[in-house]
Every structure is written in C-alpha cells, then in structure tokens.
C-alpha cells in the first residue's frame, strides 16, 4: 500500500514538473531569457526583463513606431521537448490591459514563429491558449503553412507590437502546459 501511494506521489510530482515551462518562484535569475526589440531593424523601442520584489518576472518598457519600429519581445529557449500530451499553454500573468502575442517555435533555428494573441485585464489572471490557435507568422505576415502541430517545442516568446506608441508592463508568475 505504501509503495502504491509513493508511486502515485512521484507520478504527480513528475507530471507537475513536466508541464512547467517557466515558474518565477523556481528560478534564481532570468539569464535564460533575452530581449529582442525592433532595434534589430532600426527601431527605437526598448524592453527589459527583471524580477520584482514578489519574485515574479516582469517584462516592461515602451514601444514606439518611430524609425519604422513598433515591437519589443522576450524569448526563452530550452531543450527541445515533446508536448504532444498537452493541448494548451497556460499563462499566470498580471498585465496592463494591453494585447500581447505569445509565440512558439518548434525549432529555435526557424525564422518564423507560431503566434496567438492574448489580451490582459490589468488583474492577475490565468490565460489558456489552445495549441491549435497558433498560426505561423513572420515579420507581421501570416504564412501559408499549417498551424502549430503541438508535437514539440524549443522556444517561447512574448511580444508586444500594437502599432501605437505605448509603455507596457507584464508580470509573469508561471507558464505551463495543460
């Protein structure tokens, strides 16, 4: 009986850890994340990523359309992993009422991403995004390719680019699979 209970406990612990992509409470620093702004194309937008006093990740800055700019993003690359047993990305975030894109790459070397947009409310919320809603896009254009297969994942990103000058702030507690 004790063996069965222990196996169930281990199974539950493994399932929880295998579904986690990022958990602010489990990291000491954000060195695996990096910022990509429109400066790569001459733009003037600026984003940053940091930890706040609550121990959560914060992506904030400003976006400007000056000099053909208009976006800021953060990216997180990890070892390729199978995600075929899951159907959704879940975000535990506190936004600023603005819309953001969540992006997935099944191969970090590919130029395009699979994209789905989510809107924040200004309060803490749990946002559930089905894999099948992620369409392939590159530099603002939807590609003539199938939507995200949901088989493997190697990189995620969050991007803001609403075609207006604005400051932004997105607090991230957790990103996981369901």
Quote the domain boundaries for residue 57: 22-177
Separation CA 155–CA 89 (nearest Å): 13
Position with higher pLDDT, 7 vs 119: 119
- Could you tell me if 165 and 64 are in contact, meaning their C-beta atoms sit under 8 angstroms apart? yes
Q: What is the pLDDT of residue 32?
A: 94
Question: In this structure, what CATH number is given to the domain that contains residue 38?
Answer: 2.60.120.430
Q: What is the pLDDT of residue 16?
A: 41
Q: Is residue 91 part of a domain?
A: yes
Q: What is the pLDDT of residues 84-95, one digit of tens each?
A: 999 999 999 999
Tokens of 19: 């579904």
Q: Is residue 160 part of a domain?
A: yes
Task: Please say if the pLDDT value at position 7 is more than 50.
Answer: no
HEC secondary structure over 69-98:
CCCEEEEEEEEEEECCCCCEEEEEEECCCC
Q: Is residue 10 part of a domain?
A: no
Average pLDDT over residues 120-144: 97
Residue given tokens 């894109």 in the structure block: 101
Q: What is the pLDDT of residues 32-64, one digit of tens each?
A: 999 999 998 899 999 999 999 999 999 999 999
Q: Is residue 6 part of a domain?
A: no
- Other residues' Cβ atoms within 10 Å of the Cβ of residue 35: 15
Q: What is the pLDDT of residue 29?
A: 87
Average pLDDT over residues 25-34: 93
Average pLDDT over residues 107-124: 97
Task: Please say if the pLDDT value at position 1 is more than 90.
Answer: no
Residue given tokens 């929880």 in the structure block: 16
Q: What is the pLDDT of residue 33?
A: 97
Q: Which helix (DSSP H) or strand (DSSP E) does residue 160 occupy?
A: strand 152-160
Q: What is the pLDDT of residue 89?
A: 98
Q: Is residue 1 part of a domain?
A: no
- What are the Cα distances from residue 2, in Å, to 10, 11, 14, 16, 157? 12, 14, 18, 21, 43
Task: Please say if the pLDDT value at position 8 is more than 70.
Answer: no
Give the closest residue to 72 by CA, choosing from 114, 28, 103, 31: 103
Q: Is residue 40 part of a domain?
A: yes
Q: How confident is the model at residue 10 (pLDDT cuts 50, 70, 90)?
A: very low
Q: How confident is the model at residue 12 (pLDDT cuts 50, 70, 90)?
A: very low
Separation CA 11–CA 110 (nearest Å): 34
In the chain, DSSP finds a helix count (H) and a strand count (E) of 1, 13
The count of C-alpha atoms lying within 13 angstroms of the C-alpha of 120, restricted to the half-sphere facing its C-beta, is 23
Q: Is residue 14 part of a domain?
A: no
Q: What is the pLDDT of residue 68?
A: 87
Q: What is the pLDDT of residue 40?
A: 83
Q: What is the pLDDT of residue 135?
A: 98
Q: Is residue 5 part of a domain?
A: no
Q: How many domains does the chain have?
A: 1
């Amino acid at each position: 009986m004790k063996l069965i209970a222990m196996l169930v406990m281990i199974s539950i612990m493994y399932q929880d850890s295998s579904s986690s992509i990022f958990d602010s409470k489990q990291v000491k620093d954000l060195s695996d994340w990096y910022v990509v702004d429109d400066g790569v194309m001459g733009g003037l937008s600026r984003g940053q990523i940091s930890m706040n006093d609550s121990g959560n990740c914060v992506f904030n800055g400003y976006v400007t359309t000056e000099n053909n700019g208009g976006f800021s993003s953060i990216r997180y690359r990890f070892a390729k992993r199978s995600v075929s047993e899951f159907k959704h990305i879940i975000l535990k975030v506190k936004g600023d009422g603005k819309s953001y894109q969540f992006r997935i790459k099944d191969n970090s070397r590919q130029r395009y991403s699979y994209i789905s947009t989510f809107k924040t409310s200004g309060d803490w919320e749990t946002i559930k995004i089905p894999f099948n809603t992620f369409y392939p896009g590159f530099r603002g254009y939807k590609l003539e390719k199938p939507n995200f297969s949901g088989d493997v994942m190697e990189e995620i990103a969050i991007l803001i680019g609403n075609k207006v000058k604005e400051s932004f702030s997105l607090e991230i507690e957790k990103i996981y699979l369901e």
